[in-house]
Amino acid sequence: MFERRVREGFLYHKCMFSIVYMRQTNLNGIDLNLLPPLEAALRTRSVSEAAVEVGLSQPAMSRALARLRHLLDDPLLVRVGRYMVRTPRGDALYPLVVQALEGMRPVFAPQSFNPAAAERRVVIAGSDLHAILLLPALARRVAREAPGITLVLEGYGRDPARRMLEGAVDVIFATSATPLPPGAMSAVIGADRLVLVTRRGHALANGLVTMEAYASAGHVTVSILGDGASEVDARLAACGLSRLVAATTPHFMAALSIVAKTDLVTTISEAFAARFAEPLSLTVRPAPFGEAAFELSLVWAAFKDVDPVLSWLRTVIRDVAREGFGELAQGSGV
């Protein structure tokens, strides 16, 4: 009895040494798909039952077992009378295989996300428009459901797309017309349109506004990226017109404040202008150049698409954007 136990113990430790050695030296060349068939075969001690459990045909299971026998240099299972029994090495391997599979399952298990337990600093690039229209409702929702998440709204600065792709920015507010760099993803979260905003009593506050009258007025523009690009100027140019830009600011609130105290006009988001029309005594009218609708979107790096915190936050932003910007476009993909 003592000799048998010594022999079995020797075989067990020899087996473990072989597995560790194999794992350290040849793991890259081992087909890990063989682990489930190995576990099933050693547990059921039946090739046919193991085949059913792992979803293989019996010939495929037999081939897998043959590969395992060759790889491990041991029969693993042998027939004794009417039954299959494990060899000593098969006995020693079985708990190790079970442990290996159990250790691997969490790696491939679907991620579960509990907002209440999340702790994260999330950086969002946007303007004061987004801060005023979306951030209060967004911060309230996050504070209630995910108090460990800190929201940081930064200005766009220089090259926000590059900072996003480098991981310094998590989400960018943009419009659906914004060109996306390679490696970026986007989704529409709301709808808006450009409107003409003047102080009450301004010459363009009532009556028909022609493109010529619009172009001849002094304008306040909002340049959030500092590149001077403007869809309004492009539309005027198509009509052979240009406008006088009297002031430029990176802040939408500043543009409205200037318009409220001067004869200058501005052309900005209807959702934003409508919020301050009454307190600032402003008149909000349709832009004179026809269709002026645009879509608000979120942009993020593709490598963060499955980040559970950001996936949850994008959904929350979409929800609060309904109130700030109107109904979502169908199939937004957030």
| Chain segment 53-91, per-residue pLDDT in tens | 889 998 998 999 999 999 899 999 998 888 889 999 988
148-171: average pLDDT: 93
Q: Is the four-CA dihedral 82, 88, 94, 97 of positive or negative sign?
A: negative
Q: Out of 55-59, 122-126, 162-166, 289-293, which region has the weakest mean confidence (pLDDT)? A: 289-293
**Which CATH superfamily, name and number, covers 115-190+295-325?**
Periplasmic binding protein-like II (3.40.190.10)
pTM of the prediction? 0.67
Higher pLDDT, 103 or 153: 153
Residue 329 has pLDDT above 60, yes or no: no
Q: Which CATH architecture has domain 2-107?
A: Orthogonal Bundle (1.10)
Q: For 77, list phi and psi in degrees, rounded to 5.
A: -130, 135
- In angstroms, the CA 299 to CA 313 distance is 13
What pLDDT does residue 25 have?
43
Residue 281 has pLDDT above 70, yes or no: yes
Instruction: Select the highest-mean-pLDDT range: 34-43, 51-60, 202-211, 250-259.
Output: 250-259
pLDDT confidence tier of residue 109, bands split at 50, 70 and 90: low
Residue 31 has pLDDT above 90, yes or no: no
191-293: what fold? D-Maltodextrin-Binding Protein; domain 2 (3.40.190)
Residue 332 has pLDDT above 90, yes or no: no
What pLDDT does residue 290 have?
77
Looking at the DSSP assignment, which residues form a beta bridge with residue 295?
Answer: 191
Between the alpha carbon of residue 172 and those of residues 143, 180, 236, 250, the distances in Å are 21, 11, 28, 16
pLDDT confidence tier of residue 327, bands split at 50, 70 and 90: very low
| Chain segment 168-195, per-residue pLDDT in tens | 999 999 998 888 889 999 999 999 999 9
CATH topology agreement for domains 2-107 and 115-190+295-325: no
- In angstroms, the CA 238 to CA 225 distance is 23
Give the domain ranges of the chain: 2-107, 115-190+295-325, 191-293
What pLDDT does residue 30 have?
73
What pLDDT does residue 235 have?
85
Residue 258 has pLDDT above 60, yes or no: yes
Q: For 45, list phi and psi in degrees, rounded to 5.
A: 55, 35
Nearest of 190, 218, 206 to residue 284 by alpha carbon: 206
8 A C-beta contact, residue 219 and residue 264: yes
Helices and strands in the chain, H and E counts: 13, 11
109-120: average pLDDT: 85
| Chain segment 260-275, per-residue pLDDT in tens | 999 999 999 999 999 9
Three-state secondary structure along 64-95? Answer: HHHHHHHHHCCCCEEEECCEEEECHHHHHHHH
What is the CA 273 to chain-centroid distance, rounded? Answer: 30
Residue 160 has pLDDT above 60, yes or no: yes
| Chain segment 200-233, per-residue pLDDT in tens | 999 999 988 999 999 999 999 998 876 666 788 8
Identify the helix (H) or strand (E) that includes residue 51: helix 47-54
| 3-state SS class at 271 | helix
- Expressed in percent and rounded to 5, the helix, strand and coil fractions of the chain are 50, 20, 30
Across the chain, mean pLDDT equals 86
Residue 13 has pLDDT above 70, yes or no: no
What pLDDT does residue 24 have?
46
